[in-house]
Amino acid sequence: MHTTSFYHTAPDGVLQCDLCRHYCRIRPGRSGLCRVRKNIDGRLIALTYGRALSQSVDPVEKKPLYHFMPGTATWSFGTAGCNFTCANCQNWQISQALPDEEATPFIPPEKIVQNAIRAGCPSISCTYTEPTIFAEYALDVMKLAKESGLKTIWVSNGYLSPLCLDTIHPWLDAINVDLKSMDDAFYRRLCGARLAPVLDSLRQIRKSGIHLEITTLVIPGHSDDPAMLERLAGFIADELASDVPWHLIPFYPEISWKMHETPATEPSALETAWQIGRDAGLQHVYSASHNDTLCAHCGATLVKRERQFIGAQVKRFDAGGRCPSCNQPSPVKN
Ligand code: SF4
């Protein structure tokens, strides 16, 4: 059993988890909202430490990260559980799974790093489910990864606490955060969370210097309203930076957890959202039909991507970190 260090005992004796913005108060024998942190005999236990449910090699573009080591593979892993309950979740089989220590073999952090090195991956991604809820495991993997010269990535819903962010900061190179909507009602209704903490996290991440990209799932009738998308793009441009990449991805009802009756995203809705991002001044907006990275100064192609994003399907033209046409610095990090 792995005792977490991210908690304190409240004056009334209840354990309070300090890892994410839910700040659950957890009584003896009970678990937090994520169901993977449990008060056992007065200690807060991380039930999924070492219990990776899913491991595989993905293109880094699939995270999605387009301005960080493009064309490379990343060793990806995650554990059961999540601090959100998104009805649209496409990984719900593991995000909504209960921790099962007996059915899930223990995989030590060293093994995750060995797997990445054996597979030839220059980075490790904490992904598939929310890394915040397995932060101790992620941290131990990240520390070993750095010792081995690997980069580290999180794919997050942005609900991590300032304490969590400060703790992972020295070990984290890049993060993609879902900004699902600018409506608090959306977060309450579909995710069991709130909007404001996500915006706070995004501001802090941007200030921290960790490489940041943002993703929005465009769900018909829920997160495709042009006025909302204008506010969202405006937030990125005005409060973060106009060079933060914004990824627009389509919703697929058949693989969602609970939204089978909602239609799939039409290509025209993605195109509308893409134009909203560009009109807001965002320099790099990506969607199914906008996959290439273009120079923000002259429009020359810096990275060309075909659909599967691997090997020769990602071609770079920004040798030396500069645009081949106007010689301005490329926004893409190696
Ligand atoms: S990680 Fe978040 S959801 Fe889980 S117990 Fe801690 S505060 Fe609650």
CA of 25 to the centre of ligand 1 (A): 9
User: pLDDT tens-digit profile of 124-171?
Assistant: 999 999 999 999 999 999 999 999 999 999 999 999 999 999 999 999
Average per-residue pLDDT for the chain: 94
Our answer on whether the CB atom of 34 is closer than 6 Å to any ligand 1 atom is yes
Residue 3 to residues 7, 71, 81, 134, Cα–Cα distance (Å): 10, 38, 17, 12
Ligand 1 atom with the smallest distance to the CA of 133 is 1
CATH 3.20.20.70: which residues of the chain? 52-290
Q: Which CATH architecture has domain 52-290?
A: Alpha-Beta Barrel (3.20)
Expressed in angstroms and rounded, the spacing between residue 16 Cα and the centre of ligand 1 is 9
Check pocket membership of 44 for ligand 1, CB cut-off 6 A: no
User: Which of 8, 27, 83 is the best mutation target for the ligand 1 pocket, counting ligand atoms within 8 Å of the beta carbon and taking the most?
Assistant: 83
DSSP string, 275-327: HHHHHTT-S-EEBTTB-SEE-TTT--EEEEE-TT--GGGEEE--GGGB-TTT-
pLDDT at 308 > cutoff 70:
no
Pocket probe for ligand 1: among 34, 129, 191, the residue whose CB has the most ligand atoms within 8 Å is 34
Q: Ligand 1: distance of its center to the CA of 234 in Å?
A: 30
d(CA 61, CA 314): 10
- Whether the pLDDT of residue 276 is over 70: the answer is yes
Closest by CA to 134, choosing from 168, 102, 111, is: 168
Q: How far is the CA of 164 from the centre of ligand 1 (A)?
A: 11
Percent of the chain whose pLDDT exceeds 70: 98
Confidence (pLDDT) at 306: 84
Q: Which atom of ligand 1 is nearest to the CA of 33?
A: 3
Q: Could you tell me if 35 and 79 are in contact, meaning their C-beta atoms sit under 8 angstroms apart?
A: no
Measured in Å, residue 195 CA sits from the centre of ligand 1 at: 16
Q: What is the pLDDT of residue 5?
A: 86
For ligand 1, whether the C-beta of 83 sits within 6 Å is yes
Report the pLDDT averaged over residues 33-60. Answer: 93
Nearest CA-CA partner of 124 in 145, 110, 94: 145
Which pLDDT belongs to residue 334?
Answer: 82
Cα separation of 2 and 150, whole Å? 25
What pLDDT, on a 0 to 100 scale, did the predictor assign at position 95? 82
Question: Could you tell me the distance, in angstroms and rounded to a whole number, from the CA of residue 262 to the centre of ligand 1?
Answer: 29
Mean pLDDT of the region 48-52: 93
Residue nearest atom 2 in ligand 1 by C-alpha distance: 20
**Structure confidence at residue 6 as a pLDDT band (50, 70, 90):** very high
Task: Express each pLDDT in 235-249 by its tens digit.
Answer: 999 999 999 999 999
pLDDT 10s digits, 177-228: 999 999 999 999 999 999 999 999 999 999 999 999 999 999 999 999 999 9
Give yes or no for residue 38 having a pLDDT over 70. Answer: yes
